[in-house]
Chains A and B, each alone.
Chain A
Amino acid sequence: MNYLASIGSYALMIKEVFRKPTKWSIMKSLILKEIDELIYGSMGIIIFISFFIGGVVAIQTALNLTNPIIPKNLIGFTTRQSIILEFAPTFCSIIMAGKVGSYITSSIGTMRVTEQIDALEVMGVNALNYLVFPKIVALMLYPFIIAIAMFVGIFGGWMAGVFGGFLTSADFVEGLQLEFIPFHVTYSFIKVLVFAFVLATIPSFHGFYMRGGALEVGKASTTSFVWTSVVIIILNYILTQLLLG
């Protein structure tokens, strides 16, 4: 019953987020601030992880290709497919659930604990719109990070493959071009947009409706990470079935 009540509260929260907009001039500055915090601030970690994961995927594939009949360009092919289909959209989103999700839950939760949200509501400000809507808009730029993650991940694979002596650059590039289906990139970006909405709203829900003190803020952050990850993984399955199945 608690889960059903939470789903209901979440739906009502979403409705409220898109109602009674805050003054546009203020909203604009809030959106820019959130873009800086959530998007620009996440680039470093995403680039770092993508580069090394791309490298590891290439090395793992190379080490498992013991049969001389299998062409070396399969390393490039596998790296591309892994990065574009799953690593960049899904794995990065789980990382973002930890980084951005915890930040959102703890910042909104702290505002709840210190009565700052009550202060907004007393003034007549739609607190949900003021706090959550800019985050949703900012995270609609999340696909740009993922595009960078795809590029850097594949570049990492190329570096590891070529400089590790596993294959030539020409083989890797040939693998990258092998049986390329452009819809896979579209599929990936559709997933990313859905995950972006999840990344903005589930942590906000856990922060906004939390009760208690500092300890509960910590617990809410952990719960928010778990639920954001669970929802992303379930949606990943559903969207894959719908779009590729």
Chain B
Amino acid sequence: MIAVNDIHKSFGEAHVLKGITTTFDQGKTNLIIGQSGSGKTVFIKCLLGLFTPEIGTISYDGKVYTELSADQQRELRQEMGMVFQGSALFDSMSVSGNVMFPLEMFTKQSKSEMQDRVDFVLKRVNLVDAHHKFPSEISGGMQKRVAIARAIVMHPKYLFCDEPNSGLDPKTAILIDNLIQEITEEYDITTVINTHDMNSVMEIGKKIIFLKDGLKEWEGTNKEIFKTDNEAVTNFVYSSDLFKKVRQMYIEERN
């Protein structure tokens, strides 16, 4: 579990995060949603340890990041996996090389042990024929799968995804969502997903945090988001006519 306690983050005059307190549960897909500029990316970068909040603490299963030594912080980082918006695969390495990279860097496994683990995770993300291809030779959806494989290869306790569906067609986006949810439940990972995708919110939002102007405006589940009266949330989530109709039908059905 990740516990966030009253974190503030500023860049010069811009006060981006203004005191967020929340928890991200283990074995669940926790979603952060909000409009552009609401502080989602800064928040996830604080969770990753890439930014240090001026005020407040973030603890990972009881370990407060800022109270750890540099070596302990590095060890903790090795328990984190990250899927970047643009996949962030290393261009100079093959698919297999990308996934093997964390193992080569941080473990003392033999080459064959590493290869077995790489084969296993690539099979887990349904990529079996792409080992020797380079990132430029595969599709966006496949790149996302490789990024997920690289993120889980070290058995992470925490998985962070920054807009994992951006740039993907709806069908592939659903596949990626389902894959992340399956992996989260299968390995009991604390998963935090930064997203704009309303399909993801409805499908895999076991816990949803809505940010507005650097503050937590609302928190709940994908079931609760249908019923909420919070105007900011409904305006954001049901911004399209289709979603407004879906919500209306849902409420009428329940009544």
| A interface list, Cβ under 8 A from B | 20, 22-23, 25-26, 110, 114-116, 118-119, 121-125
B84 is an interface residue with CB less than 8 A from chain A:
yes
The answer to whether A123 and B77 touch across the interface, beta carbons within 8 angstroms, is: yes
Whole-angstrom distance between the Cβ of A208 and the nearest chain B Cβ: 15
B12-20, B86-94, B205-213 - interface stretch: B86-94
The answer to whether B78 and A124 touch across the interface, beta carbons within 8 angstroms, is: yes
The answer to whether A116 and B48 touch across the interface, beta carbons within 8 angstroms, is: no
- Which A residues are CB-close (under 8 A) to B88? 114-116, 118-119
The answer to whether B104 and A114 touch across the interface, beta carbons within 8 angstroms, is: no
Considering the complex of A and B, which 9 residue pairs feature the smallest CB-CB distances, nearest first?
A124-B77, A115-B88, A119-B88, A124-B74, A122-B82, A115-B84, A124-B78, A116-B88, A122-B48
Whole-angstrom distance between the Cβ of B114 and the nearest chain A Cβ: 12
The answer to whether A123 and B102 touch across the interface, beta carbons within 8 angstroms, is: yes
The answer to whether B50 and A116 touch across the interface, beta carbons within 8 angstroms, is: no
Q: How does the 8 Å CB contact mask read for B57-85 relative to A, with 1 for contact and 0 for none?
A: 00000000000000001110110101011
Partner of B77 from A20, A22, A122 at Cβ < 8 Å: A122
Within 8 A of A (CB), among B198-222: none
- Which A residues are CB-close (under 8 A) to B89? 116
Known: A22-B105, A118-B82, A123-B77. 10 other contacts (CB 8 A): A20-B74, A23-B104, A114-B88, A115-B84, A115-B85, A115-B86, A121-B50, A123-B101, A124-B77, A124-B78
Whole-angstrom distance between the Cβ of A38 and the nearest chain B Cβ: 14
User: CA of A195 to CA of B49 in the docked complex: distance in angstroms?
Assistant: 36
| B interface list, Cβ under 8 A from A | 48-50, 73-75, 77-78, 80, 82, 84-86, 88-91, 101-102, 104-106, 160
- Which B residues are CB-close (under 8 A) to A110? 91
With CB as the reference atom, state the residue of chain B lying closest to A25: B104
Partner of A122 from B80, B90, B101 at Cβ < 8 Å: B80
The answer to whether A23 and B84 touch across the interface, beta carbons within 8 angstroms, is: no
With CB as the reference atom, state the residue of chain B lying closest to A126: B74
Whole-angstrom distance between the Cβ of B41 and the nearest chain A Cβ: 11
